Amino acid sequence: MAEKRQNPRKDRFLQSLPKDEFVCDIAEARGKLSFSLKYFDGSQKAGQDFKDWNDNEKTKLLDKLKEYSKENKQYWLNQRTGSGGLKVLEIYGTFPRNSDFTHPRHIPDTVKWARFRLESKVRLIGFFIDETEAQEKQLSTDIFYVVFLDKNHRFYLTEKE
């Protein structure tokens, strides 16, 4: 049997690593929100593409997604923000009739349209899979599929400016 060679550089590196073991706890992640860009549509005039947002706006968005991912959907449905006490997450259900956006053809009618309020007029628009459909197809209901960036609150028009 060959004798093991000493490698002082490797040994120093291994000793420099934190001693705490990292454990990915899948059970802890279950039920927390995840975000998918699979159905993102940056082509509509009412919305924006990521290239249209400056670095500060993109950084704020990523910071919000990081925070939203720490909790479950129900938590954000109950959280309020802003002077009017608007909910952070609002699930509309069907695509709103009064919108400057159009329903993308690649997204089924059965999804539950929703929005996250990022700040002021800025919204993140997307959908959740319907609970019944998710059960039938064994899909997660904890994934928010991002479809639109809505910097000017034009997805669900509440008043004419």
Q: How far is CA 88 from CA 41, 68, 77, 105, 125, in A?
A: 22, 10, 7, 27, 12
Measured CA to CA, the distance from residue 63 to residue 50 in angstroms comes to: 15
Report if pTM > 0.75: yes
pLDDT score of 20? 58
| Model confidence pLDDT, tens digit, residues 64-120 | 999 999 999 999 999 998 777 789 999 999 999 999 999 999 999 999 999 999 998
User: Which residues sit opposite 90 in a β-bridge?
Assistant: 115
Measured CA to CA, the distance from residue 54 to residue 127 in angstroms comes to: 25
Least confident of 6-20, 47-61, 118-132: 6-20
pLDDT score of 6? 83
Q: Domains of the chain: which residue ranges?
A: 32-150
- Report which of residues 83 and 8 the model is more confident about: 8
Cβ–Cβ contacts within 10 Å for residue 129, how many?
Answer: 20
Q: Is the pLDDT of residue 26 over 60?
A: no
Two tokens at 101?
């956006």
- Report which of residues 160 and 79 the model is more confident about: 79
- Report which of residues 38 and 10 the model is more confident about: 38
Least confident of 69-73, 111-115, 121-125, 155-159: 155-159
DSSP for the chain, written as a single string? -PPPPP-HHHHHHHHHS-SSPP---HHHHTTB-EEE-TT----STTSB-GGGS-HHHHHHHHHHHHHHTTSBHHHHHH-EETTTTEESEEEEESPPSS-SS---TTS-TTSEEEEEEEETTEEEEEEE--HHHHHHHT--SSEEEEEEEETTS-SS--S--
